[in-house]
Amino acid sequence: MENRLDTVETHLVEIDERFNTVETHLVEMDERFNAVEEHLGEQDERFNTIEKHLGEVDEKFHIVDRQMDTMQNQITLLIRKTDKIEKDLSGTKDIVSKIGNTLDNEVLPKLGALHDGYLQNKDITFRLATNIETESLENINT
């Protein structure tokens, strides 16, 4: 029986040593798990920083997007104004062309005729004045 007790005791010592080995291994695994958990915490912080930065970039993108929409609207308005100005200028060009045609076909010929009439009247007036002067001189001489 004592032999059996010694064998059981030896067995218990071996089991205790194995238990200590397992316990040491578990402590090592716990330390490694804590290191991994700490590393994951650092990675989580980095992820949160990146996520915050992406949020800021997204806000800036939306601001730029709104500015681009505003610029596009302004460009559209400028194009409409340019089209209206172009249309107005086209109408003005037609009016100027009509005025030019009227000047060429009606006004200038009448002005020319008036000028010619003025020159004829001036010539007639000069001749009359000359005749009157000549008759006055003749009357004075006679």
pTM, to two decimals: 0.45
In 3D, which of 73, 69, 49 has the Cα closest to residue 61?
69
**Structure-token pair, residue 87:** 């249309």
Q: CA of 5: how far to CAs of 16, 19, 30, in Å?
A: 16, 20, 36
Give pLDDT tens digits for 82-108: 999 988 888 888 888 899 899 889 888
Rounded-to-integer distance, Cα 110 and Cα 122, Å: 18
In 3D, which of 53, 55, 57 has the Cα closest to residue 65?
57
Give pLDDT tens digits for 121-132: 877 877 777 776
**Confidence bin at 134 (pLDDT 50/70/90):** low
